[in-house]
Amino acid sequence: MPNLKDIKRRIGSVKNTQKITHAMKLVSAAKFARANHAVVSARPYGVAFEDMVGRVVVAAGEKAATPLTTPRGSFKRTLLVIVSTDRGLCGGLNSNLFKMVNRDVRDMEQAGIKVDVITWGRRATSFAKKIKLTSLGEREKATDKPKYDGAKVLAKDLVDKFLANNYDDVKIAFVEFKSALSQVPTIKNLLPVVSTEKKNLADAGQLQPVLEPEPTAFLGSIIRRQVEGVVFRTLLEATASEHGARMTAMDSATKNAKDVIRKLTLQYNRGRQAAITKELIEITSGADAL
Amino acid sequence: MGSTTEVSLEILSPEKILFRGAAKSVMMPGKLGYMTILPGHTDLIAELDVGILEFLPVDSNQSQKYFVAGGFGEVKGGVVRVLVDVVEKISDINKDRAKSAEKRALERLEGKSNDEIDYARALVALKRAQTRLSLI
């Protein structure tokens, strides 16, 4: 039986841990509320823009094909962006993502595709090093209150690398945000931009919109902007996922600490009671002996 | 087709919704020149330049003006959507910043730099600054 002093000390230390996890939970809850709001406010623009790009691509037709919108016939090289958090203490958020990325990368390598990565977030950087992927760049604080201007710079870098290095596609791995309790690791295709509106082409009776200026003049810039938008929303989602996951993880850590404290307190009280009983027996048996 | 007396207007930036409501007319800065969208306009997708976005809400006679720094405008069946990354209300324009941006751009244009891209960027910066200043 551990002695009473030890138990007391452990109770104290668990209580301190509980205070920390509780505080972290509150902080994450506040950050989560903000991140969630950002995701929701960014949605209308994203949906509207994607719809518009689809219509532009359809209306512009074949003559407006650019390298950014043409799917490649064969895949030899892929650029994969991994978006993770900088800090831990967010449950299985990063490890679930890395598990999926690892599987995916192995599959691609087996199919003869060379994969280069870019990492946004400290955890992703060390993960890429650990499984020995060729890294083209790393960044920290990508998910610290993402701003559109920042996303613009990141997106430009990706588009430039895509065009300059003959990548066949660019993918982005992140944790998609469903709700505070559910975050799903996802790999999304970023480039080339393949319109989802192609299927609506059958609606040939529908009047095509007037494009101004000539579609060839602005298709490049509209696709770039689309990529910027997707990168921005990806960062927002990753941020919301991070805070949501941390909030849940810290909540269960706080609950767990409470359980541990309860058990230790019980043990401590029992020990104390046993000691008292023992002393009483000693006294009474001593008195009997007289 | 939508109503013949009003269009429903949405002004969206990647970060938030700036305006959503009915308008009698919308003027936007197209790449090829300003255009005014009235109810019943045909479907259109246009690239926007740096300039002023002005619209007349249905419930007032006072038009509202915004500064926009490029983006896209779409008209589809009576819905007008303006998608821009940078959009500012007149009250949000920072005069001092615009002034110093104008000065910087002018200095750059007068400088001896022969770099084509720099020149184009300075021109756009100048236009942004001057459009902002014209609104104050």
pLDDT tens, residue by residue, A77-109 = 899 999 999 988 888 899 999 999 999 999 999
Q: Is the pLDDT of residue A195 over 50?
A: yes
Provide, as residue numbers in chain B, all residues whose Cβ is less than 8 Å from the Cβ of A221. 47
Q: Specify the CATH architecture of the domain A26-248.
A: 3-Layer(aba) Sandwich (3.40)
The tens digit of pLDDT for each residue in B74-102 reads 998 889 999 998 888 888 888 888 888 88
Provide, as residue numbers in chain A, all residues whose Cβ is less than 8 Å from the Cβ of B43. 207-210
**pLDDT above 90 covers what percent of chain B?**
37
Contact B81, A48 (CB under 8 A): yes
The tens digit of pLDDT for each residue in B18-53 reads 999 999 999 999 988 999 999 989 889 999 999 999
Q: Is the pLDDT of residue B131 over 50?
A: yes
pLDDT at A105: 93
Provide, as residue numbers in chain A, all residues whose Cβ is less than 8 Å from the Cβ of B75. 209
ipTM here: 0.82
pLDDT at A202: 45
Q: Which helix (H) or strand (E) holds B79?
A: strand B79-84
Q: How far apart (Å, rounded) are the C-alpha atoms in residues B52 and B50?
A: 7
pLDDT at A200: 53
The tens digit of pLDDT for each residue in A35-62 reads 999 999 999 999 899 888 888 877 777 6
Burial class (CB in 10 A: 0-12, 13-18, 19+), A51: middle
CATH 1.20.5.440 fits B93-135, yes or no: yes
Q: List strands edge to edge, sheet with A134-139.
A: A134-139, A114-120, A77-83, A169-177, A183-191
pLDDT at A250: 95
Which residues 6+ apart lie within 8 Å of B136 measured at CB? B90, B93, B95, B98
pLDDT at B27: 94
The CA distance from B92 to the nearest CA of chain A, in Å, is 18
Does residue B18 belong to the interface with chain A, where contact is any CB pair within 8 Å? Answer: no
CATH of domain B7-90: 2.60.15.10
Domain boundaries, chain B: 7-90, 93-135
The tens digit of pLDDT for each residue in A152-177 reads 999 999 999 888 877 888 999 999 99
**pLDDT above 70 covers what percent of chain A?**
94
Q: Which residue has the higher pLDDT, B48 or A215?
A: B48
Nearest to B76 among A38, A209, A218 (CB): A209
Q: Is the pLDDT of residue A201 over 60?
A: no
pLDDT at A203: 52
Residues of A known to be catalytic:
90
Which residues 6+ apart lie within 8 Å of A25 measured at CB? A246, A247, A250, A251, A254
CA dihedral defined by B65, B66, B69, B71, rounded to 10 degrees?
-90
Q: Which residue has the higher pLDDT, A278 or A165?
A: A278
